[in-house]
Chains A and B, each alone.
Chain A
Amino acid sequence: MSLDTMILKMGEGFGKTCAIFFLTLLFSLPLGMLVALLRMSKIRVVSWITRFVISVLRGTPLMLQLLAVTYGPFYLFGLRVARNKLVPVVIAFAINYAAYFAEIYRGGIESMPVGQYEAAEVLGYSKTQTFMRIILPQVVKRILPSITNEVVTLVKDTSMAFTVAYQEMFTIGKQIANSQSSFIPFLVAGAFYYVFNLAVDFVMGRAEKAMSYYK
């Protein structure tokens, strides 16, 4: 198989890689905020349960979680395995990444000086107004470098979808590598991820710059 054909075939799977990537961000970024708020809840039980869930999600392999979400329903309840594997894959990724994002959000929120809350309170801002207008925009600026880290990792983690045979780029690359007894597809995959991450770096760099107008 020529290099062109390989790139073309893997390129077809790249759309699915992108689907995992963007859908995971779409769901995990807001879900992470919800988890962070539950984690910081004043109701002890809620906070403890959330803490436990986060520790499980961060303390067990993403690969295991992928398998659990994809095949768990079959083994536990005898349900059919989803035909479109994108659904369980995105669910597993979104939940896993939400746990990481939640801790990043929490760190950001807890780093905010109490004076910002007090200034808003004295001026009569409601709790929601304070959070949405005063706290959150500043938190986003503070945590952006950590978010970039996670996003870069996510690009590479999409390759783990091969464990449930979802036909994204890396899965296809691995199949070609096996059938052709060639190492080239892995190099091609590496190049794909690297270029993808160059783009991620560029976009996040722009975002950081856009928020650098204040200290």
Chain B
Amino acid sequence: MENLLEIKHIRKSFGGLEVLTDLNLSVRKNQVLSIIGPSGSGKSTLLRCATLLEKMDGGDLVYNGLYAARDENGRSVYAPPKTIREVRNMFGLVFQNFNLFPHYSVLKNVMEAPMLVQKRDKDEVKKEALDLLEQMGLRDKADAYPCQLSGGQQQRVSIARALAMNPKILFFDEPTSALDPELTGEILKVIRGLAEKKMTMVIVTHEMAFARDVSDYVVFMDGGVIVEEGDPKDVIDHPTRERTIQFLRRMREQ
């Protein structure tokens, strides 16, 4: 199986505080990988490094064989802008706070990037965008503005916006953390649907039951390193490391 994403020996510090320590992660095609762990464990930073929102201090970042950053003598050297654009085109990111563009209608939120960045034909993009909104159960909200939608609906629009770019891999940064519990389910349902369609996904989440059900690989992070990883049933139901056991117990008590 080919690796769509490979992160090798990543290091990242913020002002002397090391957040990620020599961490390795690879994501295969069609894999759904969940990253769990306490706040401050570095999981969000890892995701931000992978999506180029944050620069790694050291290590390699490779998408589908293409080096976005290469480690040279312990420092990450980033590829030229053209390569970075190519890499960026391979992934999508769904934010915790949606980050929709409030001044655009739902449809324009979904359509603009494919037209502007990928220079695709308007009619074709529109058809695809409407299909995506249909899939998200939001076909009738195409002309609405984000402020008129519920949090769950906004998050579904942002998933459609990311999918409209046809990414090879889709990242989720705690996609349900800003939502009321009753709205969480609708997002998890959408992600489950994507998993059934073999979308490659990396999901940072606090939803343990969901991580176990939907993902085929789970990574537990703490203190900037991967403490335990593997099959979700093993890691979540039968953790072996003390830190994992404690974390999962705390999560269950909540």
Contacts and interface: CB of A to CB of B under 8 A. Distances in A.
A118 B95 contact: yes
Nearest to B114: A123
A122 B51 contact: yes
Contact of B93 (A122, A125, A138, A141): A122
B17 interface: no
A152 to B, nearest CB: 26
Given A119-B95, A124-B85, A124-B88, A214 B102 contact: yes
A134 B88 contact: no
B83 interface: no
Interface residues of B, number: 26
Interface in A105-132: 113, 115-116, 118-125, 129
B165 interface: yes
Given A133-B112, A134-B101, A137-B103, A122 B92 contact: yes
Contact of A125 (B51, B97, B116): B116
Nearest to A118: B53
A138 B103 contact: yes
Nearest to A129: B116
Nearest to B97: A115
Nearest to B100: A119
| A interface majority secondary structure | helix
A80 interface: no
Contacts of A213: 145
Interface in A177-214: 213-214
Contacts of B100: 119
Contacts of A134: 101
B13 interface: no
Contacts of A124: 85, 88-89, 113, 117-118, 165
A61 B140 CA distance: 57
A213 B105 CA distance: 10
Contact of B88 (A122, A133, A141): A122
B172 to A, nearest CB: 12
Given A122-B93, A123-B165, A124-B88, 17 more contacts: A115-B99, A119-B95, A119-B100, A121-B53, A122-B88, A122-B91, A122-B92, A123-B113, A123-B161, A125-B113, A125-B116, A125-B117, A129-B116, A133-B112, A138-B103, A141-B103, A214-B147
Interface of A: 113, 115-116, 118-125, 129, 133-134, 137-138, 141, 213-215
6 contacts: A116-B101, A124-B118, A125-B113, A134-B101, A214-B145, A214-B146
